[in-house]
A and B are shown apart, each in its own frame.
Chain A
Amino acid sequence: MRRYTRRETLTLSSAAVSASLLARPALAQGKGRVVVVGGGFGGAAAARRLKAIAPALDVVLVTDSDSFSTCPFSNLVVAGAMPLSEITFGYDGLRAAGVELRLGRVAEIDATGRAAILEGGDRIAFDRAIVSPGIDLKLDSLPGYGAAAVERMPHAWKAGAQTTLLRDQIAAMPAGGTFVMSVPNNPYRCPPGPYERASLVAHFLSRNNPTAKIVIVDGKDTFSKQALFVEGWNTLYPGMIAHVPFAENGGVLEVAPDALEVRTAFETFKGAVVNVIPPQSAAAFALASGLAGDGEWCPIDQATFESAHAPGVHVIGDAAIVGDMPKSGFSAAVQGAVCAHVVAAMLRGEDAPTGTLLNTCYSFVAPDYGISVAGEYRVNGEGRLKAVEGAGGVSPKGAGAEVRKAEANYARSWYANLTNRLFG
């Protein structure tokens, strides 16, 4: 005898729910307009998944560029291991899926008037908005740094021209030169990213400039996957990378672009090439729209992603405060997809669904040496998206080369699958 499955019941019960809503024509048919702001992992996932699960909705994706270069894998570009073109994606796949693309920069989200206002004044009305604006770099928060200094001391913390600029500077570094990195305190985009960058630059230098050195001037004492990174550095690049924790540098006081120096409370670090990763905040228009209140990151209801300051506006990705989830492309893609379900349900007048969310941050210690940190998250009784105890965690220490190689392959597979799912 074949047992009844819950799924079959669900189909029937949701049909019953839909029937009961037919008295409310627009909602029952799932009509309405959702404006998604931001064309990165979060925005693309939100727009594409929303159009797939609620095809009757008008989904408008506002993005300020007709292509997107991903921060994940951009350290492989810095290290000369792949071209920028391989991490750059257009939006034709989203268009073909029925998402309306609108090229422009959002100046403000008007939550009261339910509209996104573009620079230039155009208003795009919405029933709900999903805002995935990413970060802005606080270039002026570091004395001596600023917009004029980013050519001399690239940040390369938004992928694109900065990525290839840093790559070219490292490739042209004199023999035995020092590559200095200034890394901020938390929170910032991609917690393990600076250490992956140091690793992959070391990979490049060990083959092309083997007497060169790398110095990481850190704004904190410990960092993501630290034991695994250090194990890899000792194995692959012995003596090449020095990590100077906050306790040993006292904090960066200023940078000097002309002298290529990073000056800390205790010491001055001079580089042949200097990479300054500045402190960060949610994107400027999110701050200007009041989505961060008095702070620099956007607080949300962590079950629905709805802004604590702007009803009807959901904030996802690096700009939002999402409980224990890190600021990663993987997290943004998960949050975008989940937020699509939430918004579709809310527009139907139903309760927002909740479930389990996952994150994996893969890092390359070398192109064929991968490590990972994973997390599993659920909304707890206090409404916080909390890491599930006992789940998640990092790759094993002391694992063999075949395990590291497998994780490098899985990292590449993840990247290919996700970018294909969102942009293909």
Chain B
Amino acid sequence: MMFYARLSPREERRNAVTMLQRLPLLLFLCASPAVAAEGAAVAITYESCAVCHGGGGSEHGIPSLDGLGEDKLRERMTAFRDGTGGSTIMHRFMVGLDPAEIERLARHVADRTDAER
């Protein structure tokens, strides 16, 4: 394992430890069809989000999701789900998702690549 420059010794240690900690879980999850299906499902679900939120945003009000971190996305979606988000429509969708789905969706939106955008 090679680390590039400008990582502090502390960061290096943390990265190395994290990698080691992940290994058993990685081996387990690589063989798990359920996780692959969840990942695929969230990419499918996001396509509906993008019909409103994709396309670069506009002056009229539907916010772009770019640049919002996973935490912020999860907080907003959870608030919509709880009916405290102050929305015209988002609460009608989020109420149909469970917290685990919201968590996966937030992670997907935060981490999505250009091709997934």
Q: Which residues of A contact B (CB under 8 A)?
A: 1-2, 4-10, 12-14, 16-17, 49, 52-53, 55, 330, 333-334, 337-338, 341, 345, 351, 353-360, 372, 374, 376, 388, 390-393, 395, 403, 406-407, 409-410, 412-414, 416-422, 424
- Please list 24 pairs of residues, one from A and one from B, whose beta carbons are closer than 8 Å in the complex, sorted by A's number: A2-B14, A2-B18, A4-B18, A4-B25, A6-B38, A9-B29, A49-B47, A333-B51, A334-B51, A341-B43, A351-B37, A353-B37, A356-B44, A357-B48, A358-B48, A360-B52, A376-B96, A390-B95, A406-B61, A409-B61, A417-B58, A417-B62, A418-B51, A420-B58
**Known A-B contacts A1-B17, A418-B55; A410 and B95 likewise in contact (beta carbons under 8 Å):** no
Bound together, the chains give a CA A338 to CA B47 distance in angstroms of 7
Q: Which residue on chain A has the smallest CB distance to residue B42?
A: A355
Docked complex Cα distance between A2 and B11 (Å): 11
Judging by beta carbons under 8 Å apart, are B21 and A391 in contact? no
Residues 84-117 of B, flagged 1 when their CB comes within 8 A of A and 0 if not, give 0000110011011100010010011001000110
Q: Which residue of B lies closest to A10 (CB)?
A: B39
- CB of B5 within 8 Å of the partner chain: no
Which of A6, A357, A406 is the one whose CB lies under 8 Å from B39? Answer: A6
Of all chain B residues, which has the CB nearest A55? B115
**Does B68 touch A at the CB level, under 8 Å?**
no
B-side contacts of A390, CB under 8 Å: 95-96
Interface pair A355/B61, CB less than 8 Å apart: no
Would B96 and A53 count as touching, CB distance under 8 A?
Answer: no
A353-B43 contact in complex given A53-B115, A417-B56, C-beta closer than 8 Å = yes
Asked whether, in the complex, the Cβ of B97 is within 8 Å of the Cβ of A356, the reply is yes
Q: A355–B41 contact, CB under 8 A?
A: yes
From A355, A360, A374, A392, B45 is in contact (CB under 8 Å) with A355
Interface residues of B (CB under 8 A from A): 14, 17-18, 21-22, 25-26, 29-30, 35-45, 47-62, 88-89, 92-93, 95-97, 101, 104, 107-108, 111, 115-116
| Chain A residue contacts of B36, Cβ below 8 A | 10, 13-14, 17
Number of A-B contacts (CB under 8 A): 166
Residue of A353, A355, A414 ringed by the most chain B CB atoms within 10 A: A355
Partner of A10, one of B17, B35, B58: B35
**Chain B contacts of A376 at CB under 8 A?**
92-93, 96
In the bound complex, do residue A4 and residue B22 qualify as a contact, i.e. CB atoms below 8 Å apart? yes
Contacts of B29 in A (CB 8 A): 6, 9, 13
Closest A residue to B108 by beta carbon equals A7
| Docked complex Cα distance between A82 and B42 (Å) | 37
> Contact at B35–A13, with CB atoms within 8 Å?
yes
- The answer to whether B107 touches A392, judged by C-beta atoms less than 8 angstroms apart, is no
- Docked pose: A126 CA to B58 CA in angstroms: 37
Whether the Cβ atoms of A341 and B39 lie closer than 8 Å is no
User: Are B51 and A403 touching (Cβ within 8 A)?
Assistant: no
In the complex the two chains form, is A341's CB within 8 Å of B55's CB?
Answer: no
In the bound assembly, the distance between CA atoms of A341 and B53 in angstroms comes to 19
Contacts of A354 in B (CB 8 A): 40-41, 44
Nearest CB of A to B38, in Å: 7
B92 contacts which of A14, A338, A341, A392 (Cβ < 8 Å)?
A392
Contacts of A360 in B (CB 8 A): 52, 89
Cβ A391 vs Cβ B115 within 8 A: no
